[in-house]
Amino acid sequence: MCSGLFTILVLFVLESHFFFLGYTHFLLSIGMGLALLAIAEKILRNLPKPPVLWLLLYVCGTITLYLTHSYGLAVFTIAVTIRMLWLPSKDRRSLVIACFLVFLPPLLVGIQKLANPSSIETFWTYFAPRTELLNRFEEPFFRFEKPLDRVFALAHLITLLILARTFRSQSFSSNEFRFHTTLFACFILLFLSLPVGSMKAWDVDTRVLLPAMVFLVFALTPAQSARIAKFSGPAVGVFLLTSLVAAVQLVFCEQKLMQADSRLEGLMEVLAIVPPAQKLLMVDADSYRYDPTPHQVSWYVLEQKGMIPSLFSAETDAPFSYFHVKEKLPTPPSKWYLEGKFHEFLQHLPTYDFVIANRPLVLPPEVASQLRVVVENESGALYERLR
């Protein structure tokens, strides 16, 4: 039974668009945060004199998590803070250690903010009311075709509910159950509060659904899970059904990925023509939600020592900015072409030497007169700015 729930969780992660779109650092940070939470649990259970080795692992792990991804650090900070509601010992030494566990992650952020204090003000300006919450709940399952993805999401929900219903050994009054359900509720509330995007980071709200799913599975898992050796009859059927749905979905995704690969190869042929050490602007001319081509221009920085905008988070005044560039390149809004904001593009065009797009552009005369077509194919086009 426990294995069945964790299989559902694994399939959810593998099929969610976080894994599918390559949110590698985000997924890694969530896993690291869970590992650090286990270390914190080990420390708390050995209060008031925890092993020094576990404290050192906690410090090193927190610093590593901070450098990996800010979202994982935030999730971990929330989890370890809520864990203190069930502190096993409340003597002075234990409270000091607990405060250290809680305040170390935000302390790292505070130290970093001393070098870039303006980003805090910028961050809060992105919190605003939004609509279409139902669509956002479904978002982690969406890839290419919403109707089909909605069926897969519903299948996961039904199987999770059926498996949870079969549990009889779970104690709903245990501290573990209360802790995990509190975290689940907390992350759902965060989902309802966070914006869709912030400072060129997207899916800010739906990312909390992943840790919410994780802690929901933990809440439904019996504390004596290690003693459960095999599935019951209904669980076997649900497990097989979910695996079949996952297999069908992955086959469908493979076909779409093969199509995306051909587009990426065509764009790389265009990118290879750009001379070294130039300033290059990428134009997203495709309205498709999950087009991987806009990120492909990053190879130009690695292979040709060129420059592209928004290479590091510091350029967007993000709250977590580790690296900076000497010359910050101004850039028009990411969807300026699709929204027809050509005047904003013309304001930033003099900064760049070349413009690359993920499909040939249809430009008005005042814009077309500023550019020369270098090469075009079905996957993209390269333009040189006329001086």
Q: Which residues, in sequence order, are bridge partners of residue 371?
A: 385
pLDDT digits (tens, 9 = 90+) for 74-83: 889 999 889 8
Question: Region 276-299: what's the mean pLDDT?
Answer: 80
| pLDDT score of 140 more than 50 | yes
User: What average pLDDT is seen over the chain?
Assistant: 76
Question: Region 152-157: what's the mean pLDDT?
Answer: 72
pLDDT value, residue 335:
77
- pLDDT level of residue 229 (50, 70, 90 thresholds): very low
- pLDDT level of residue 352 (50, 70, 90 thresholds): very high
- pLDDT level of residue 129 (50, 70, 90 thresholds): very low
Lowest mean pLDDT among 11-15, 140-144, 171-175: 11-15
Burial class (CB in 10 A: 0-12, 13-18, 19+), 336: middle
pLDDT digits (tens, 9 = 90+) for 39-79: 998 898 888 888 889 999 999 999 899 888 888 888 899 99
pLDDT digits (tens, 9 = 90+) for 231-252: 556 666 666 776 777 777 777 7
Lowest mean pLDDT among 147-151, 264-268, 333-337: 147-151
| pLDDT score of 163 more than 70 | no
Question: Region 270-290: what's the mean pLDDT?
Answer: 84
- pLDDT level of residue 373 (50, 70, 90 thresholds): very high
Question: Region 356-384: what's the mean pLDDT?
Answer: 88
| pLDDT score of 308 more than 70 | yes
Cβ contact 170:177 at 8 Å:
yes
Question: Region 353-373: what's the mean pLDDT?
Answer: 88
Question: Region 355-374: what's the mean pLDDT?
Answer: 88
* The model scores a pTM over 0.85: no
Nearest to 80 by CA among 56, 104, 115: 104
pLDDT value, residue 226:
41
